[in-house]
Amino acid sequence: MFYWVLKWVVVGPLLKTVFRPHVEGADHVPATGAAILASNHLSYADWLFMPLVIPRRVTFVVKAEYFQGPGVKGWLQRTFFSGAGQVPIDRSSGKSAEGAMRTGLKILRNGNLFGIYPEGTRSPDGRLFRGRTGVARLALEAKVPVVPVAVIGTDVVAPPGKKFGRLHSPHVRFGRPLDFSRYQGMESDRYILRAITDEIMYEIMELSGQEYVDAYAVKGMASGAAKHDPEPPGTASAEAA
């Protein structure tokens, strides 16, 4: 219930009034049933604007630390993230990616939308980086379509290294759902997982207009200020490669 209060009564109307986000292809998001929304990742604000422009709830995973803060501030943070549809995931061990996969599968098997950033982290320079294959494995195991998504302009609203930038109208584009049922039963084949992931990233590139880099984003963050930004929801779920 709190999710819908935030989306339709509190945060959503404010964001729409101030930023006036544009949306294309919202009809490509299934009206019912499970699907993965695989998006590019320019800013921590992505997870606010992408779900805002469609009527259905989108769930991301977020690191457990956001749910463990002490005092009033911790309570407010837990309340907000929980109410905003986020699910905590423990990323302190090497099995964290597996935990994110299990969480994603549970969400999808319940017939819901699961949001994921295949790059695994925010782009340090605005380009689109190589996708992690967790998104492909998740799609095959859950037997669901993948809707490619491009969020454009959020790095102007909230640039890497800053909490706020300047007023700008973000643009959210949804592509046609991608069906990978032809690969069913091949979720352990790393070449198939890479081929699926590359197809998803190509569609995101076409929607976003970003320059593509065939390297993982984490390797390009040596000087990126994004290292010090709070990590947003959805990142953990992409890391299973």
pLDDT of residue 53: 95
Q: What percent of the chain has pLDDT over 70?
A: 83
184 vs 62 pLDDT, higher one = 184
Q: What is the pLDDT of residues 136-174, one digit of tens each?
A: 999 999 999 999 999 999 999 988 777 777 889 999 999
Grade residue 90 by pLDDT with cuts at 50, 70 and 90.
low
Contacts of 102 (CB under 8 A, 6+ apart): none
Q: Which tokens is 54 given?
A: 């469609």
pLDDT exceeds 60 at position 237: no
Instruction: Give yes or no for a contact between 169 and 18, defined as CB atoms under 8 angstroms apart.
Output: no
Question: Where does residue 146 rank: exposed (0-12), middle (13-18), buried (19+ CB within 10 A)?
Answer: buried
The total number of residues written for the chain in this structure: 241
Helices 134-142, 190-208: axis angle to 10 degrees equals: 110
pLDDT of residue 148: 98
Rounded CA separation 199/172 (Å): 20
pLDDT of residue 106: 93
Rounded CA separation 46/209 (Å): 16
Query: Regarding beta strands 128-129 and 212-213, do their DSSP bridges make them parallel or antiparallel, or are they unpaired?
Result: parallel
Q: What is the pLDDT of residues 192-223, one digit of tens each?
A: 999 999 999 999 999 999 999 999 997 445 44
What's the whole-number average pLDDT of the chain? 85
Contacts of 153 (CB under 8 A, 6+ apart): 168, 169, 170, 171
Mean pLDDT value across residues 78-83: 72
Tokens 């302009």 belong to which residue?
A: 153
Rounded CA separation 7/14 (Å): 10
- DSSP conformation letters of 136-194: HHHHHHHT--EEEEEEESHHHHS-TT-S-------EEEE-PPB--GGGTT-TT-HHHHH
pLDDT of residue 158: 86
Domains of the chain by start residue, with CATH:
2-238 (3.40.1130.10)
Q: What Å distances lie between residue 15 and 114, 117, 118, CA to CA? A: 22, 22, 25
pLDDT exceeds 70 at position 230: no
